Chain A
Amino acid sequence: MKKTLFDKIWEAHVVDSIPNGPDILYIDKHLIHEVTSPQAFNELKERKIPVLRPDQIVATADHNTPTQNQHLPIKDVLSRNQLKQLSQNCADNNITLYGLGHPNNGIVHVIAPELGITQPGMTIVCGDSHTSTHGAFGTIAFGIGTSQVSQVFASQCLLVEKPKNLRVNVSGKLKKGVLPKDVILYIISKLGTNSGTGYFCEYAGNVFEEMSMEGRMTVCNMSIEMGARGGLIAPDETTFEYVKGKEFAPKGERFNRLKAYWETLKTDQGAKFDQEYFIDAEEIEPMITYGTNPGMGIKITGSIPLNGGKSAEKALKYMGFKAGESLLEKPINYIFIGSCTNSRIEDFRTVAAYIKGKKKAANVNALIVPGSQQVLAQIEAEGLKTIFEEAGFTLRQPGCSACLAMNDDKIPEGEYCVSTSNRNFEGRQGRGARTILASPLTAAATAIAGKLTDFTKHLN
């Protein structure tokens, strides 16, 4: 029987199956954060159930943390209390916590890969829908609710129905100025926000094979935005090179033994997918969104589709746009470069390369929020900080920040923000804020121009 990559990893983790029901799926790594874990710890405490495998859990503080003065006590009482609760819960249950200020602290989906916690062939869950990010390593990684967080605490397992197999192939040569973010925004705009519901999506084709790990993470990160439970890419030399030498990666002989296993993790030729799509890389151009879900995307040089129906009307009203309109020359006052989608070192190198020697437009407020302390340290070590400062960008401390605006990093009502994050939902970046999703390069170019432009004309 020919198997998909997803089938192989799934089957290796099935403890047992309930007849006509879900599988008991073993979870290798459980990542937790302050927002979706407290009620799960409470549940366990009430039922007097211990955490079964604390050494397979890693915690970080990221969603609800300030991006300035992280050494000072947090002003917001509720946020402070939530972080205190996380520390207490981790201490009580012997769980490793990379709290605020720790050199390993950062956004959960940025730190686990950079610390080598994420490895091919694993099952990884977290109470966060963007857990799909880790699929970039050839893992089955997906977001779960708080009840499921408590289930994994109690049993290191989950009861889940096996999703169906979906494959998206992108082949050919990407155009100049097209980043992994554009690739995934294009895919979602083509397939729609619920095209992946019920599926796990494998990304295949030379475009993903040639992509860096950072790029693959950006792509897999947004799998959930087309409704897929997760996305994954077969591990290869790029993956093994990235993992090798990381703090928690296997070392020496053990690394070689695991690598031999990881090399078997690919879809068999002729394996069947329940659904499959083929996309020509040359069709893809830098993308922006115009509406209030990530599927409402167009080429930056394109125009907003006509006849989008009732949903589109509501979205356009919120965004202050008209059907048929081009968004080129639209003034933009806010830029956010960060989030678990685009806050890795490669993203900031791209931004720095574009803005070096330039200045942001006077109307623009450009916020750069690295994904982790390690990324921040790299930004400083590589001299990118100076480039950002000279261009008038504001560099902050790591966290989820304006992606979901739980902290003070909010976009004011009615303002547009070109954002490298993953969701353009109403109010996502602050009540009444209008989000335009884009790649780090598009965000950088918009910051310099002060408006949306066809920047590809000026690329070397």
Chain B
Amino acid sequence: MEKFITLTDTAVPLEIENIDTDQIIPARFLKVTDKAGFGDNLFRDWRFDQNGNPNKDFGLNNQKYKGSILVTGDNFGCGSSREHAAWALKAYGFKVIVSSYFADIFKGNALNNGLLPVQVSPGFLKKLFRLIDENPSAEIKTDLENQKIEILSTGESEKFDIDPYKKTCLINGFDDIDYLVSKIDSIKKFEEKNRKNESTPSAFI
């Protein structure tokens, strides 16, 4: 997995709440068997009309906004577990997603793909939307090491939470498979112990 340490960039605003993974990548694009090409269909039905022409009103199509940070409304990534949503955001070029709330499965999927979900307070989120609206070229710094997100022009910042294990993984570019495979012996011992335990028979014997 790609490492993530710090990122300073401009941001694209998408001030909509409860964006579900069906909007991020509609189900009809999930028929493939690899991870290629999802960026083209990111937010497909919001970004393009029926004839495939860009929808001018949609934030991602607004030439004013550029950058690898997506600032978005509350409860981002709810709904379907499709990891294709994280692949699509990553393939489009986003590296950081900022919201006041993330749905559980999406958050895990993002972290497993080196896409950093940064959860901020509703107040700081509002501030970010206002900042980007007033100055689309304003730079935002995401510092994973110090768990801090900062508006460079004003110095305003906020700390964010991340699971310490996941943080180590992102900084070093490790993923869970490497870790779990290194634990196979204890996993096999656990299976063995459960097979022998007659008093509370585990479901998997």
A residues at B contact (CB < 8 Å): 12, 15-16, 18, 20-22, 24, 26, 28-29, 35-36, 38-39, 42-43, 47, 49, 52, 56, 63-64, 76, 78-79, 81-82, 85, 119-122, 127-129, 139, 143-148, 150-151, 154-159, 161, 163, 193-194, 197-198, 224, 227, 229, 257-258, 261, 264, 293, 310-311, 314, 404-406, 413, 423, 425-428, 431
Residue of A38, A258, A423, A425 ringed by the most chain B CB atoms within 10 A: A425
Contact residues in A for B184 (Cβ distance below 8 Å): 52, 155
Contact residues in B for A12 (Cβ distance below 8 Å): 200, 202
Q: Are B18 and A155 in contact (CB under 8 A)?
A: no
Bound: A56/B34 CA distance, A? 25
Given A129-B79, A161-B163, CB of A28 within 8 Å of CB of B203: yes
Bound: A82/B30 CA distance, A? 10
Contact residues in A for B166 (Cβ distance below 8 Å): 21
Contact residues in A for B83 (Cβ distance below 8 Å): 36, 39, 127, 145-147
Residue of B whose beta carbon sits closest to that of A423: B79
Bound: A56/B187 CA distance, A? 14
A-B contact pairs, 29 of them (CB 8 A): A20-B164, A22-B163, A24-B180, A26-B204, A35-B82, A42-B33, A63-B30, A76-B31, A81-B31, A82-B32, A128-B81, A143-B105, A146-B109, A147-B112, A147-B175, A150-B177, A151-B180, A156-B187, A159-B165, A194-B75, A194-B101, A197-B75, A197-B103, A264-B200, A311-B18, A404-B22, A426-B23, A427-B23, A431-B50
Contact residues in B for A38 (Cβ distance below 8 Å): 32-34
A251 CB to nearest B CB, Å: 14
B133 CB to nearest A CB, Å: 15
CB of B53 closer than 8 Å to a CB of A = no
Bound: A16/B193 CA distance, A? 13
Q: Are B176 and A159 in contact (CB under 8 A)?
A: yes
CB of B152 closer than 8 Å to a CB of A = no
Contact of A148 among B26, B112, B200 (CB under 8 A): B112
Bound: A426/B121 CA distance, A? 27
CB of B70 closer than 8 Å to a CB of A = no
Contact of A120 among B103, B104, B203 (CB under 8 A): B203
Contact residues in A for B204 (Cβ distance below 8 Å): 26, 28-29, 56, 122
Bound: A293/B27 CA distance, A? 16
User: What is the number of residues of chain B that contact chain A, defined by CB distance less than 8 Å?
Assistant: 57
Contact residues in B for A29 (Cβ distance below 8 Å): 204
A55 CB to nearest B CB, Å: 10
- Enumerate the 9 nearest inter-chain pairs by beta-carbon distance, A residue then B residue, closest first: A21-B165, A38-B33, A145-B83, A147-B112, A155-B180, A145-B109, A78-B31, A143-B81, A28-B204
Bound: A223/B165 CA distance, A? 27
B42 CB to nearest A CB, Å: 14
Given A24-B183, A38-B33, A129-B79, CB of A314 within 8 Å of CB of B176: no
Residue of A18, A119, A120, A257 ringed by the most chain B CB atoms within 10 A: A18
Residue of A20, A42, A156, A258 ringed by the most chain B CB atoms within 10 A: A156
Contact residues in A for B104 (Cβ distance below 8 Å): 163, 197-198, 227, 229
B31 CB to nearest A CB, Å: 4
Q: Are A193 and B18 in contact (CB under 8 A)?
A: yes
CB of B127 closer than 8 Å to a CB of A = no
Given A157-B183, A227-B78, CB of A426 within 8 Å of CB of B108: no
B189 CB to nearest A CB, Å: 8
A252 CB to nearest B CB, Å: 14
Given A24-B183, A197-B104, A406-B30, CB of A147 within 8 Å of CB of B113: yes
Contact residues in A for B175 (Cβ distance below 8 Å): 147
